[in-house]
Structures are given as structure tokens and as C-alpha cells.
Amino acid sequence: MGLSGNTKPNNNKHEGKIMKIAFIKTFLNPKQVYTHSVTFDYLIASLLRSPLGGIIETKICFSPGEVIDYKPDIVCCSTATEAFMRMQEFAVMIKKEVDCVMLLGGTHITAVPQTLPDIFDIAVIGEAEQTIVDLLTCIHNKTSYKEIPGLAYKENGELKITEKRKYMKMDDLPIPVYKDIKYEKSGAVPILTTRGCVNICSHCSEQRIWRPFRVLSSEKLVDVMETHYKQSGKTSFLYLDDISFYNLKRVQSIRDILKERGLLGKLRVTKGAINSELVTEPIVVILKELGLKLIGFGLESACPEILEKYKMGRVKVSDFVNCMKLLGKYKIRNGASTVWGYPGETLDNMKETRDFLYEWNGKNSFYTFEQYVCQPLPGSDLWDMLFEQGKLSYDMDFSKIQIKPDYTKDDWFYANEDNVPRETFVKFIQEVSKELKKIRKETKGKANG
């Protein structure tokens, strides 16, 4: 496939021809490989509604072999940090067999374009619905892509980053095309109702990738649900956002529009995310009406000293207590994520969080806690801090940045060795996970708290 970033196109293979585009994501956890990704649904929808719509063919692939068999002209690769090295391996395998333009996008390369490997022809930085249309139009027409905002590419070995791409209004985004959707066991349809987050946390990369916080209007959101329902008959939806329910007005308007259209109770939102400090009883009452079964929120740490480091003083342990009590009262299961090993965290700090988890897990089977290791995700303040300390680099092995590692191995990055040795840390988390499992078994079905 010819590229015209430089002045001369390589060949004319595509004139008057269909442009075949393969999409592929990489994962470290084999269980996640088939989770449906709205990333590609948005990109495909954007291409289809553009003038390129009539001349493209798309395929979502799950392995390099599938891409090779498809023989695409363009390969769209997407990855988070932990599977970035795997994505490179896949790209090498594909490029060996197929003459194609290899594109890379997603959270990792957006946060650290400095890590762009040579195997990729061009990286797309940040929100890409318009960028992909502009870029593929240039590739198709064999004109230069060098001035398109939102790109990174190499020229004579030097990294070039074009002007930042402006974000679109969420209502101007296309309704995602659910291409080759593989539903979760529950059959729920994944949808995105917001982009970004209302907060900034030191361990999170959202501030660099998706700021400012934007929302799909409630009207458009219900349109998306209704469109999908009419097409597929599916009645259950899961909101994939970092934060889905950020104030009372929002949940009221979603509820009211569903009601006006006779869809309340028929179309159900079964999963979504909140920020504990924003939860009030009137919000939870409506979440119950919407059908919520599981709400996720970031607990991170129940030790005030460490929590302050994550959430920069914005959230108190009392906010978690309030949030969990309210969710428990309305029998909505919470999936709160705990993050262990912030640089400087002591074993005593960890014990404080552990005791909180045991106490709350013991009260009610609706309180559940996920365990993660604190990792410097590129784009976060934590990444910047450890990078400046020389503990990270752009050519490091990024597959070490695992927030849910295999504890039997030591192939993951650990930032808190000085305070809690890795061995003690691992033993501690394993014990906590085991105990929480035991407590959950004992409280199964118990819903008062």
C-alpha cells in the first residue's frame, strides 16, 4: 500500500478499488481478547458516514493470522500500555506477510507518542473519529497527510507530532456501528455515554487523553439505546464510561426520556460507573429505576494518607461509606477497586485499607472489592514522577505495567520496594484476596448492612 506522507506515492494499487481495513486490539489477559470494543465501532461508523463509506470494507480481527488471511490495505492497531509490546510483535508478523499501511492508536500511544516503534507507519493521537477519515482520504488520494492534526510519524528517524486534534461534541459523533459484536454472557450492549472524567487522580491517565469531560446528551443516549434495541432486540445495556452518573439532573433526564418513549423498565442499564463523592440517595433511587445491578467506583485506598495521594484530597473515606451504604440499601452491587502499592505506602497503611475491606465485605454480600497493583500509566502524574526519578523510560518493557499481574511471577513493575518488599506485598495481597473470597461466601445472599 502506498503512503504519501513524503511527496512521492509508492504505487497506485487502490485506484478505483475497495480499500480493505482490518482492526485489531491486543490484550495480555486471554479472557479479554473477545470483549467487545467500542473503539472500532466508532471508527467504522465514522468512516461509513464519510465520503469514504462507499469504497471501504472493514473487518475486526482477533489474531494476526486473521489479519493476514484478510489481506487488508490498512491495518488499524489499538492497544493499552500492558499489551503494547505484543501489538508490536503482531505488527511485525503482519507486515512480513501483507503489503499494508500499519496504523497505531489508543491510550498508550496517545500518552507517550515518543514510544512509536518503526513498524508502524503512522500513529493517531487522541480522539480519532475525524482524524481517521482525513488520514484515509489522504492515503486513498495519495496526497500528503503531514498537516493533518492528531498524528505522529517518523521522518528520517525523527518523530513528528502534528497539531493537537480538537475534540468533537459527543452528539456530533456517529452512532457506533456494532460490527461483529460478541455480546457479554449477559447479552448486554456496551455503550459509551461520556468521554473523560470529572476528576483528576494522580495514578490515572484520563486527564491527558480525554480532557475536558464531555457527555452525550440524554436524548442522543436514549436514541443510541433505542436504535440498538430496534436492530437487535437487546434490552440490556452496560455503560462503559469512567463516570456515567455524575449528577441528579443527568439520571433524571435519562429516566424521564425513557419514560416518555415508553421504554422505562423495558430497556435497562445494568452496569455503570460513579464517583463515590457525588452519590446521593435521590440518584441511587433513580439508578434502581433504570435497572442498575452493578456500579463500579474507584476506592483505591481506605487509608486517608494514601487516599490523599491518589485523589488529591477530593475524596474522603466517609464518601465511600456513604456510597456503599446507599448502594447496599437499594441492593445494587458495588464493584469497588482497591489499588495497592502507591510509592511511599507502608504495610500499616495497607493494613488500614485491608481492615476496611474486611469490615465492609463482611456486612453485606453487595459489597465487592477488586484488587489492583498501583502502576504508572503513561499520561498520569505518577508516570511523570517515576519517569523523572529515572525508574521508567520510553524504551522500557511496557508489558511490565500490569495492574492485575500474575502474582506467581515477578515480571511486573513494582514501585514500592523501599517501603514494602515485593515478597511481603504479594503475600499480603494474596491473603487479602483469599479472605475476601471467604467472607463473600459467608455473606452470600445477605443484603443488610
- Asked if 181 touches ligand SF4 (CB under 6 A), the answer is no
Among 200-208, 276-284, 287-295, 368-376, the segment contacting ligand SF4 (CB under 6 A): 200-208
Among 89-97, 170-178, 198-206, 323-331, the segment contacting ligand SF4 (CB under 6 A): 198-206
Nearest to 75 by CA among 54, 99, 51: 99
Pick the closer one to ligand B12 by CB: 199 or 353: 199
- What is the size of the binding site for ligand SF4 (CB under 6 A)? 9
Start-to-end Cα distance in the chain: 62
- Asked if 206 touches ligand SF4 (CB under 6 A), the answer is yes
Q: How far is the CB of 442 from ligand B12 (least distance, A)?
A: 27
E strand or H helix at 283: helix 281-290
**3-class state of residue 391 by DSSP:** coil
The footprint of ligand SF4 on residues 274-303 (CB under 6 A) is: 275, 298
Q: Where are the beta strands (DSSP E) in 48-149?
A: 56-61, 74-78, 101-105, 122-124
Q: How far is the CB of 362 from ligand B12 (least distance, A)?
A: 26
- On the CB side of 148, CA atoms within 13 Å amount to 27
Kindly tell me which residue out of 81, 199, 235, 364 binds ligand SF4, with binding defined by CB under 6 A: 199
**3-class state of residue 262 by DSSP:** coil
- As a whole number of angstroms, the distance between CA 63 and CA 317 comes to 43
b/e 209-218 (16+ beta carbons within 10 angstroms → b): bbeeebbbeb
In the 8-state DSSP scheme, what is residue 264? B
Of all residues in the shown chain, the one whose CB is closest to ligand B12 is: 105
Pick the closer one to ligand B12 by CB: 315 or 364: 315
The CB density around residue 63, as the number of other CB atoms within 10 Å, is: 13
Which listed option, ligand B12, ligand SF4, none, makes contact with residue 124 (CB within 5 to 8 Å by class)?
ligand B12
Which listed option, ligand SF4, ligand B12, none, makes contact with residue 199 (CB within 5 to 8 Å by class)?
ligand SF4
The x, y and z cell numbers of residue 344, run together, are: 511511599
- Asked if 334 touches ligand SF4 (CB under 6 A), the answer is no
Pick the closer one to ligand SF4 by CB: 90 or 340: 340
Nearest to 232 by CA among 190, 291, 290: 190
Pick the closer one to ligand B12 by CB: 34 or 331: 34
- Asked if 270 touches ligand SF4 (CB under 6 A), the answer is no
Q: Where are the beta strands (DSSP E) in 360-412?
A: 367-373
Pick the closer one to ligand B12 by CB: 184 or 223: 184
Q: What is the binding site for ligand SF4 (CB under 6 A)? A: 197, 199-201, 204, 206, 242, 275, 298
